[in-house]
Amino acid sequence: MIAEYFNRHAQTLVFTLGRLYRRPVATALTTLVIGITLALPAGLHLLVNNVNAVGYSWEGSLNASLFLADSISEKDGHMLASDIRSRSTVRGTSYISRQQALEEFRALSGFGEALELLDENPLPAVVIVRFKTTQSADAIDATMRELSDLPGVVQAKLDQQWLDRLFAILATVERAAVIIAALLAIAVILTVGNTIRLDIENRRDEIIIMKLVGASDAFVRRPFLYTGFWYGFIGGIAALILLGIAVALMAGPAGKLAALYQSSFVIRGLGFVSSVGLLGIGILLGWFGAAWTVARHLGAIVPR
């Protein structure tokens, strides 16, 4: 009995796949639409994860810049850097004199000729503070308050601030991705539902004949449910292919950008678990769209 049950379902599964195969253009268009719809929120999820990975890698090298008053001599600047280095939250410090800052700016900015026209060096001396990665955010904030109050320190700027802004933006994008995913899930259900509705209308006479010879509602309903299954499954495969192509196209530019910042970052695609999850979501949405449409339209077909 159980073997016969599974055998009937297996036959229907293969039969519905054959029907889709015999309509290649319509099947390809429908599954491509589903694939694009599934790939959009998955792509946003990938983007957020990869940018988060970059942010966390940069967060591990947290630095602060202390801009010193012009009245601070190089000797005092080195002594200040040495004093700061002894703090428990600090991993190391570097002192950059006003002249060094000017030379670096001239080399990197390309404004060397314009700088020659200035009467005096406009750049301040800077102490670069490198924090230990094991320190909590509260400990670093407390240290920053202490450093900003040191004599001769005009401004203390933590490089973490722009990372916090980046993570805040990413959190907003991630929330938007969830909302977009929910809306696109409805779009997948409607797409599959409309396709199944047209299929039901095209097979109306066949359905009437099956009901006249005594076919059960479950028997009549089963091919449409498995059609929804295949639409969701193939659409999920299409989404994975599209995401793979996108990752491959972005890998080169992302690698060059990482090299410019001396980072080992490598753009990553969906892992095995996430890929299986995306396929599962596609199948679930396809099945639900088919079941919803069948429940609405199949009962209206009554033999006379």
Q: What is the pLDDT of residue 5?
A: 67
Which residues fall within 8 angstroms of residue 155, CB to CB, at 6 or more apart? 66, 67, 148
pLDDT digits (tens, 9 = 90+) for 235-245: 999 999 999 99
Q: What is the pLDDT of residue 133?
A: 64
94 — pLDDT class (breaks 50, 70, 90): confident
- Residue intervals in the chain for CATH 3.30.70.3040: 63-158
**Which candidate, 270, 256, 261, 231, places its Cα nearest to that of 55?**
261
Task: Please report which helix (H) or strand (E) contains residue 157, including its range.
Answer: strand 153-158
pLDDT digits (tens, 9 = 90+) for 154-194: 888 877 666 677 677 777 888 888 898 899 999 999 999 99
In degrees, to the nearest 5, what angle opens at C-alpha 69 toward C-alphas 64 and 75?
85
CATH topology of domain 63-158: Alpha-Beta Plaits (3.30.70)
